[in-house]
């Protein structure tokens, strides 16, 4: 049996199950919409009509379908599904009740990280930084706690960028592609196959979400997706000593940088780290670029037009991660460069709107520009 014959049932079962459940949820929303529809009113809401936000159910169905095609038990996939249940359930509970706080969801995702360690034995025993590696490798509780914290951080990052059709799921596919390529280059075909299977499941949802936004990931789907990516990122360097931890981090640079800059921005503005706003990079791309250039497009298509622009940004560090996966200094330099590029893009977008308004008197434009910069921080 060649590789294609071995993988095809797994990929098709995961993809078809995920896509079919998405279609089913959309087709039956009149019956469950009272609890599953996402209201289109809110500071971070850009869609124009109530939409099912329970795409996580489709992802979980796809994962179970793919796992069922593996004789006996999967060495990596089955433990990941089990470990992902807390992150998924607490996120889904928020989707259905709107009463589960950010702290509870993050703790649930950290629990998934600890459970994944318990089931697989993997935890981060190094970060390729002298001193820190000694502590992580010599004290298991610290290693497990750090791993759980990192997993929760990546999961929250995917949730934060889940603002436009296809953005989070498309970014997840880019991250998984980079991690899978690195695994293959490092001689870990099992992990590379796992990335393909996870990608097939997410692709099934992506087709239902992009570009028309018929269904959303919701918190359940976003936290589950983030956990899956994070745990692959943990296993990759731990299973393959020649792979730098920074390669896994760089592969996920866009969502990680988004959550980092968002926390720093809110801290500077004396706001709670979980305070919602429209100051994310993707929000600014929509309001400062897409809204101006694609004024005549339908709102749903303007929404979707944001994602390809951010995918391009996510692709750059992911490609650098694949290229330099065993070169820690180059990876660190690439991550710093990605952060600088993020900041440059962000600052450019803060001012972009006013430069498009050429008919405003100079004095009025200057006053408006100053007010905008003050509001944006």
Q: What phi and psi values does residue 98 have, to the nearest 5 degrees?
A: 60, 30
Q: What domain range is 285 assigned to?
A: 3-376
51: β partners: 38
The torsion angle over the Cα atoms of residues 348, 43, 155 and 125, rounded to 10 degrees, is 60
- Cα–Cα distance for residue pair 288/284, rounded to 1 Å: 6
Note the pLDDT of residue 274.
63
| Close Cβ partners of 322 (under 8 Å, ≥ 6 residues apart) | 178, 181, 182, 185, 247, 251
DSSP string, 190-201: HHHHHHHHHHHH
Identify the segments of the chain with pLDDT beneath 50.
Answer: 42-47, 73, 354-377
Q: What phi and psi values does residue 109 have, to the nearest 5 degrees?
A: -70, -35
Contact 113, 151 (CB under 8 A): yes
Q: 329: exposed, middle or buried (C-beta count within 10 Å: 0-12, 13-18, 19+)? A: exposed
Domain tally, the chain: 1
Note the pLDDT of residue 264.
86
Q: Read off the pTM.
A: 0.89
């Amino acid at each position: 049996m060649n590789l294609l014959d071995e993988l095809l049932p797994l990929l098709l079962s995961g993809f078809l199950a995920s896509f079919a459940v998405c279609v089913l949820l959309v087709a039956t929303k009149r019956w469950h919409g009272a609890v599953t529809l996402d209201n289109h009113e809110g500071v971070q809401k850009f869609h124009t009509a109530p939409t099912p936000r329970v795409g996580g159910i489709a992802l979980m169905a796809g994962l179970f379908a793919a796992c069922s095609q593996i004789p006996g038990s999967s060495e990596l996939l089955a433990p990941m599904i089990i470990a992902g249940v807390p992150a998924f359930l607490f996120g889904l509970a928020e989707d259905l009740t709107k009463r589960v706080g950010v702290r509870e969801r993050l703790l649930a995702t950290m629990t998934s990280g600890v459970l994944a360690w318990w089931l697989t034995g993997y935890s981060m025993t190094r970060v390729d930084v002298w001193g820190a590696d000694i502590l992580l490798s010599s004290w298991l509780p610290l290693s497990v706690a750090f791993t759980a914290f990192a997993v929760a951080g990546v999961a929250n990052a995917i949730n934060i960028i889940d603002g436009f059709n296809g953005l989070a799921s498309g970014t997840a596919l880019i991250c998984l592609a980079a991690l899978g390529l690195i695994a293959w280059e490092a001689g870990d075909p099992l992990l590379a196959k796992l990335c393909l299977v996870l990608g097939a499941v997410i692709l099934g949802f992506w087709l239902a979400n992009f570009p028309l936004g018929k269904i959303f990931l919701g918190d359940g789907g976003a936290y589950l997706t983030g956990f899956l990516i994070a745990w692959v990122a943990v296993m990759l360097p731990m299973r393959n000593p020649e792979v730098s931890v920074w390669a896994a981090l760089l592969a996920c640079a866009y969502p990680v940088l988004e959550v980092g800059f968002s926390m720093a921005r809110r801290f500077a503005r004396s706001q709670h780290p979980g305070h919602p706003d429209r100051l994310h990079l993707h929000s600014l791309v929509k309001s400062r670029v897409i809204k101006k250039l694609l004024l005549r497009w339908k709102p749903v298509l303007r929404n979707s037009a944001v994602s390809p622009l951010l995918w391009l940004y996510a692709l750059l560090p992911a490609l650098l991660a694949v290229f330099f996966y065993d070169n820690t200094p180059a990876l660190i330099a690439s991550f710093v460069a990605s952060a600088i590029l993020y900041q440059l893009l962000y600052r450019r977008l803060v001012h972009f709107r006013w430069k498009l308004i050429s008919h405003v008197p100079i004095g009025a434009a200057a006053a408006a520009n100053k007010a905008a910069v003050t509001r944006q921080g």
